[in-house]
Amino acid sequence: MDDSTATTPPAGVPARGPAEPSAARMAISWLRDLTLSVILAIIVILFVYQPVKVEGTSMMPSLVDQERIFINKFVYRFGLADIGRGDTVVFWFPQDTSKSYIKRVIGIPGDTVEVRNGTVYVNGHALNEPYVPEIYRDHASMPPRTVEPDHYFVLGDHRSSSNDSRTWWTVPRSYIYGKAVFVYWPLQRLGVLH
């Protein structure tokens, strides 16, 4: 036996469907959704991804002047990944912390870094650097130096046009606040950074 019930309206009373939502209720629902979206966007921008504009040519050809990229601020801040050799990082410039720089990590704590006629050696081995085209290399040299704990040796990919660790030495770990991960503008360069 079925225990469902249905009520039939009395004779002469028209049957009604579900009530239509009022304009005020729809506006409140829309505002709630918009507010939630804005809060989530702020959380993502503050703690995970941040848009950044590249200024200068020191990272060419990997990154070009006026290019727009996203940096991941979450991965280093919460220890989800270590800063590794080859990472492209954004950091406060050690000699003027009002400026941000973007460079590639070459030496990690404990590494001995040397530059001989433009060729970089890490722990006595020549570094394979396919991201530095021949036309962007220079022939500068730097004697061997060991990267201190919690510091990183960084270089620009455009070696003949980069103000980097060869000049002012290393970047403290606490100054590094993001890893460059994705180019979003201009559209013809859209893609993941390597």
Query: What DSSP string runs through 147-159?
Result: PPTTEEEEE-SSG
Contacts of 93 (CB under 8 A, 6+ apart): 99, 100, 101
- The SS3 of residue 12 is coil
Pick the catalytic residue from 103, 162, 165, 179.
103
Is there a catalytic annotation at residue 53? no
Residue 91: phi and psi, rounded to 5, are: -150, 160
Pick the catalytic residue from 58, 62, 162, 165.
58
Is there a catalytic annotation at residue 58? yes
Question: Alpha-carbon distance 16 to 36, whole Å?
Answer: 34
Question: Alpha-carbon distance 86 to 154, whole Å?
Answer: 9
Question: Alpha-carbon distance 127 to 32, whole Å?
Answer: 54
Active site residues: 58, 103
